[in-house]
């Protein structure tokens, strides 16, 4: 391992700042900075150590050979044709334009004239383009033509080359330049290591042409004077994508001794250009998400190749920029202290973005910690306590099949073990056995099939010489139990996300609800993901396309793409960075409670204010387990406009499968007719016109829908059955929606889910859907076992409460369940049962055992018992044989045959009632 003392001092300060993010304070900038070059990865004094490593280690030889193999052909050509590679740079070769103009997200034009060719700007913020990046040998030399760029058109047969307007070419300009700069960086490294000036000449000619051209470039101007003006860098529409500056810094670092010896007069120009570029990244951007971290990484690399503050007239050198990212906060570049404090919930370790981005930020930060500790012998974990919590909370993102939740801009995927392995490395290096055991057990749980002892073949990149050693696992530490890290319920208020789960694997159950709070979120109201029999069947569809594509903006990020309720066809609000959370009104058990609760019932009750129509929305979701392999979900969704005048409320549910049947309560197919009612026409969302093959029928009877995942021969088919209570004013639709794009490789589904229509059911309630809510029971099952629920029917309150819903479920096992739900806490009666709770379940087993579950209530009568409480709360009362068991989160009084007993609040336990 090569140790760089200069980087050590610098980055210790950088990370120390991050570790103290919870304690806002200035982090001292180091004073003993390395004066020589190179300094980013390695110093001149450490060259011999690297040469020894290459000579003695087979992997290091392979890395060096790989770099030579990639660049030697270009070096040899450069000797006889020094213009060949340089001419492939995307520059304003003829016009030498200084000023770049954009029009919103697209390149517009350039003007002004510099004394030298200047660097071209990227074509569009939207990278979607029919054109492809050509191979280097296919790029026209000195390409600067009024017709645009000469590129292969991938949308046409044979990919013919044609002239393309620059604004239609995505990021191709940037990508070509990045590739060429990367080759120059590799050549600079080889020259420094081996002393062959042919490599230096190749690297310098590219570096000088590019950086001198950049020195004359001005900040791009948005002709629309819009948001883009606050995002643009010198090469890209977003400063977060100015990664080529890292390549430039690494190139400059290794080439600096050669430049000092041969072209020292240009160093002031190079430094000034790098500083201007860095200032642009600080000036622009988005601080309240992962941008801030990625911008800081680029700024730090650029700063480290500069000289000290005192060497510049403006006193802006290494110390200035290092201190800036550590301690200074400006409008669009926050200090790392503010960044961490803003993003992480210290109570649970969740980062305030959708799962795909949240998981990525945690991985980036543990990579920081591990890399610094491994390379610089400095452990910053004790100063960043939130990071330990952020890594331990990662399993809470998992469905029972090991895939992560995927609301917002996310995908269904396995959980990366990198953050966990980083914690293990830190523990091993610091000799912290307790920490090592804790995270090794978690690692083995999530990565038990990985060959952790086997060295992975390093890629042929410079960074491979300085990377971490392979992780070695201590075999004495056993695999953890998943229940050590996940809980039956979990609530993250900073992203408006609530989880209920039971069990693991194929027969586990899980419902995930999310609102729209944080970054990379969608306009989805109270959205639901449902798991069943090995798959996230009721899954989110992902982002579908690039963020600027119409189908993302108009469909994938909008209500109809999600499992939610839309009001009057217009429910919507700002997607991406959104501020629309739901309120958690009730749950059982309490979030993150590890034990002391009844395991076979969960529920959540959430409220959401739909802002577009100012509507009250309430969703109560419960999981009820009825056996080792059986269980069901109850979903009661109420929705109404505060100002009345409700036109209709649409309940959308999308489920995986190749087929979907809409049936009556007896299983007979309903006769649906083609319908144009659910469409943009009438002043509704564009999203509705992305859906097709719409058929509907009006009815007031109960109905059901069944989705089938048709598995290969020899495997059980997988189903989801939805039963829904009928009511006056109801219309049901079968719909085909755009494909679910959230599943990537290895999902185990027997069809191309990202290419096939996403089969969708919608229920429309004409008028308000509060007294006539959407009342659903979902049951996942397989062809081998069939459904466990035999029949479902509804019942009414004998007192006439219009905000009440009652369900009677009979099971093949002989079990009978009664579900009571109301929002106004008025006492309701049915037969010998009475309740005032938000949610009550009375479950009667065939053997005489029973359970009474009370969710957010004060008084319930059932099975001859009366349970009373002075305040609303959750209570479980269970008969099991001759035993009575109780879990009461509030004090209760239980009356049975005129005998009364009081019980203080307590965990699930056996009680005596004598």
pLDDT tens-digit readout, 301-319: 899 899 999 999 999 999 8
Alpha carbon of 132 to those of 151, 549, 780: distances in Å?
Answer: 6, 18, 44
- Rounded Cα distance between 387 and 344, Å, is 9
| Opening angle at CA 385, ends 381 and 387, nearest 5 | 75
Q: Residue 104: count other Cβ atoms within 10 Å of its Cβ.
A: 15
Per-residue buried b or exposed e for 647-662, using 16+ beta carbons within 10 Å of the residue's own CB: bbbbbbbbbbbbebeb
Tokens matching residue 98: 């200084």
Determine the pLDDT at residue 72.
Answer: 97
Tokens matching residue 598: 């009844």
Tokens matching residue 710: 């048709």
- The fraction of the chain above a pLDDT of 90, given in percent, is 84
Question: What value does the mean pLDDT take over residues 112-126?
Answer: 96
Residue 431: CB partners within 8 Å, gap ≥ 6?
none
Mean pLDDT of the chain: 92
- Rounded Cα distance between 790 and 777, Å, is 12
- Rounded Cα distance between 740 and 709, Å, is 14
Residue 693: CB partners within 8 Å, gap ≥ 6?
734, 735, 736, 757
Q: Is the pLDDT of residue 3 over 80?
A: no
CA 234 to chain centre: 28
Candidates 255, 283, 232, 237; CA nearest to 123 is 237
Phi, psi for residue 851 in degrees, rounded to 5? -135, 135
Determine the pLDDT at residue 6.
Answer: 39
Determine the pLDDT at residue 291.
Answer: 84
The least confident of 211-220, 258-267, 322-331, 707-716 is: 322-331
Determine the pLDDT at residue 338.
Answer: 82
Candidates 42, 32, 38; CA nearest to 319 is 32
Determine the pLDDT at residue 456.
Answer: 60
- Rounded Cα distance between 761 and 777, Å, is 14
Q: How many CA atoms lie within 13 A of 50 on its CB side?
A: 23
* Cis check: omega of the bond before 798, within 30 degrees of 0: no
Determine the pLDDT at residue 455.
Answer: 47
Strands (E), 85-227: 91-92, 99-103, 106-111, 118-119, 149-152, 161-164, 221-222
Q: Is the pLDDT of residue 349 over 60?
A: yes
Q: Is the pLDDT of residue 372 over 70?
A: no
User: What is the sign of the dihedral through the CA atoms of 271, 272, 278 and 281?
Assistant: negative
- Rounded Cα distance between 888 and 904, Å, is 8
- Rounded Cα distance between 188 and 884, Å, is 77
Please check whether residue 596 is in contact with residue 887, taking contact to mean a CB–CB distance below 8 angstroms.
Answer: yes
Please check whether residue 145 is in contact with residue 125, taking contact to mean a CB–CB distance below 8 angstroms.
Answer: no
Q: Is the pLDDT of residue 16 over 80?
A: no
Q: Is the pLDDT of residue 533 over 90?
A: yes
The least confident of 436-450, 507-521, 833-847 is: 436-450
Q: Is the pLDDT of residue 726 over 70?
A: yes
Q: What share of the chain is helix, strand, coil (3-state, %, to 5)?
A: 30, 30, 40
- Binned at pLDDT 50, 70 and 90, residue 567 comes out as very high
- Rounded Cα distance between 704 and 719, Å, is 13
Determine the pLDDT at residue 369.
Answer: 74
| Opening angle at CA 660, ends 659 and 661, nearest 5 | 130
- Rounded Cα distance between 154 and 170, Å, is 13
At 908, is the secondary structure helix, strand, or coil?
strand
At 198, is the secondary structure helix, strand, or coil?
helix
Determine the pLDDT at residue 913.
Answer: 78
Determine the pLDDT at residue 378.
Answer: 62
Dihedral class, residue 544 (left if φ above 0, else alpha if ψ from -120 to 50, else beta): left
Question: What value does the mean pLDDT take over residues 381-396?
Answer: 90
Specify the pTM.
Answer: 0.89
Question: What value does the mean pLDDT take over residues 654-663?
Answer: 98
User: What would the pLDDT profile of 257-294 be if each residue is shown by its tens digit?
Assistant: 999 999 999 999 999 999 999 999 999 998 888 888 78
Question: What value does the mean pLDDT take over residues 392-402?
Answer: 96
Q: Is the pLDDT of residue 7 over 60?
A: no
Tokens matching residue 187: 């050549």
Q: Is the pLDDT of residue 449 over 90?
A: no
Q: Is the pLDDT of residue 454 over 50?
A: no
Helix (H) or strand (E) holding 290: helix 290-304
Q: Is the pLDDT of residue 22 over 50?
A: no
Q: Is the pLDDT of residue 715 over 80?
A: yes
Alpha carbon of 586 to those of 76, 490, 525: distances in Å?
Answer: 71, 12, 18
Highest mean predicted confidence (pLDDT) among 2-11, 423-432, 835-844: 835-844
Q: Is the pLDDT of residue 406 over 60?
A: yes
Question: What value does the mean pLDDT take over residues 499-508?
Answer: 95
Determine the pLDDT at residue 383.
Answer: 73
Residue 197: CB partners within 8 Å, gap ≥ 6?
191, 258
Please check whether residue 850 is in contact with residue 867, taking contact to mean a CB–CB distance below 8 angstroms.
Answer: no
């Amino acid at each position: 391992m090569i140790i760089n003392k200069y980087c050590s001092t610098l980055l210790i300060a950088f990370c120390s700042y991050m570790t103290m993010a919870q304690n806002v304070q200035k982090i001292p900038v180091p004073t003993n900075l390395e004066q020589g070059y190179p300094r980013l990865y390695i110093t001149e004094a450490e060259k011999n150590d690297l040469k020894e490593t290459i000579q003695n280690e087979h992997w290091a030889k392979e890395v060096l050979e790989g770099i030579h193999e990639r660049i030697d052909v270009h070096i040899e050509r450069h000797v006889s044709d020094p213009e060949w590679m340089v001419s492939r740079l995307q520059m304003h070769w003829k016009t030498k334009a200084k000023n770049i103009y954009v029009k919103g997200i697209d390149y517009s034009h350039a003007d002004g004239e510099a004394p030298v060719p200047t660097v071209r700007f990227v074509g569009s913020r939207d990278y979607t383009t029919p054109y492809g990046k050509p191979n280097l040998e296919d790029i026209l030399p000195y390409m600067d033509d009024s017709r645009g760029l000469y590129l292969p058109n991938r949308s046409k047969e044979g990919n013919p080359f044609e002239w393309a307007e620059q604004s239609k070419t995505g990021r191709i300009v940037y990508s070509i330049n990045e590739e060429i700069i990367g080759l120059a960086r590799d050549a600079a490294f080889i020259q420094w290591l081996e002393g062959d000036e042919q490599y230096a000449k190749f690297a310098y000619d590219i570096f000088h042409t590019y950086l001198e051209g950049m020195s004359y470039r001005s900040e791009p101007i948005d002709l629309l004077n819009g948001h883009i003006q606050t995002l643009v860098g010198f090469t890209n529409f977003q400063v977060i994508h100015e990664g080529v500056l890292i390549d430039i810094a690494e190139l400059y670092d290794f080439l600096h001794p050669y430049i000092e010896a041969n072209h020292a007069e240009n160093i002031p120009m190079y430094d000034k250009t790098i500083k201007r570029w860095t200032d642009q990244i600080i000036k622009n951007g988005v601080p309240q998400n992962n941008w801030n971290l990625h911008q800081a990484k680029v700024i730090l690399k650029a700063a480290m190749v500069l000289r000290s503050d005192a060497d510049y007239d403006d006193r802006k050198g290494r110390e200035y920029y290092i201190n800036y990212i550590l301690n200074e906060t400006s409008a669009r570049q926050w200090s790392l202290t503010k960044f961490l404090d803003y993003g992480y919930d210290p109570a649970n370790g969740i980062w305030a973005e959708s799962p795909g981005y949240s998981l990525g930020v945690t991985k980036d930060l543990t990579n920081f910690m591990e890399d610094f500790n491994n390379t610089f012998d400095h452990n910053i974990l004790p100063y960043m306590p939130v990071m330990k919590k952020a890594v331990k909370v990662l399993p809470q993102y998992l469905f029972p099949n090991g895939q992560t939740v995927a609301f917002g801009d996310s995908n269904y995927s396995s959980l990366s073990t990198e953050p966990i392995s980083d914690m293990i490395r830190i523990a091993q290096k610091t000799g912290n056995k307790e920490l090592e055991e804790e995270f090794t057990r978690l690692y083995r749980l999530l990565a038990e099939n990985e060959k952790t002892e086997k060295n992975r073949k390093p890629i042929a990149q410079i960074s491979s010489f300085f990377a971490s050693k392979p992780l070695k696992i201590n075999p004495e530490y056993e695999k953890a139990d998943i229940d050590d890290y996940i809980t039956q319920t979990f609530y993250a208020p900073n992203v408006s996300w609530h989880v209920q789960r039971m069990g693991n694997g194929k027969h586990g159950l899980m419902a995930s609800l999310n609102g729209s709070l944080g970054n990379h979120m969608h306009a989805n109201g109270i959205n639901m993901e449902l798991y069943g029999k090995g798959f996230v069947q009721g899954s989110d569809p992902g982002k579908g396309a690039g963020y600027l594509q119409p189908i993302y903006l108009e469909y994938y990020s909008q209500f109809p793409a999600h499992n939610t309720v839309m009001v009057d066809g217009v429910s919507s609000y700002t997607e991406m960075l959104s501020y629309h959370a739901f309120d958690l009104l009730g749950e059982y058990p309490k979030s993150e409670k590890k034990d002391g609760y009844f395991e076979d019932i969960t529920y959540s009750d959430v409220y959401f204010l739909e802002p577009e129509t100012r509507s009250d929305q309430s969703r109560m979701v419960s999981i009820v387990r009825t056996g080792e392999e059986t269980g069901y979900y109850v979903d009661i969704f109420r929705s109404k406009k505060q100002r009345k005048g409700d036109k209709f409320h649409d309940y959308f549910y999308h489920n995986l499968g190749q087929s979907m049947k809409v049936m009556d309560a007896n299983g007979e197919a309903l006769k649906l007719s083609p319908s144009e009612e659910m469409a943009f026409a009438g002043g509704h969302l564009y999203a509705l016109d992305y859906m097709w093959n719409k058929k509907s029928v009006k009815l007031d009877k109960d109905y059901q829908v069944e989705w089938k995942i048709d598995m290969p021969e020899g495997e059980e088919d997988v189903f989801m059955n939805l039963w829904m209570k009928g009511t006056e004013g109801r219309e049901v639709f079968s719909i085909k929606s755009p494909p679910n794009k959230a599943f990537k490789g290895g999902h185990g589904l027997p069809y191309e889910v990202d290419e096939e229509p996403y089969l969708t059911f919608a229920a429309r309630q004409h008028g308000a859907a509060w007294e006539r809510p959407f009342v659903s029971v979902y049951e996942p099952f397989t062809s081998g076992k069939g459904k466990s629920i035999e029949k479902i029917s509804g019942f009414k309150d004998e007192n006439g409460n219009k905000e009440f819903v009652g369900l009677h479920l009979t099971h093949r096992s002989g079990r009978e369940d009664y579900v009571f739900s109301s929002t106004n806490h008025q006492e309701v009666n049915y037969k010998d049962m009475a309740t005032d709770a938000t949610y009550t379940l009375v479950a009667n087993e065939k053997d005489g055992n029973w359970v009474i579950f009370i969710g957010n209530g004060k008084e319930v009568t059932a099975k001859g018992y009366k349970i009373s409480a002075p305040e609303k709360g959750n209570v479980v009362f269970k008969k099991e044989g001759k035993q009575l068991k109780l879990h009461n989160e509030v004090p209760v009084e239980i009356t049975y045959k005129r005998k009364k007993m009081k019980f203080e609040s307590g965990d699930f336990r056996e009680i005596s009632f004598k």
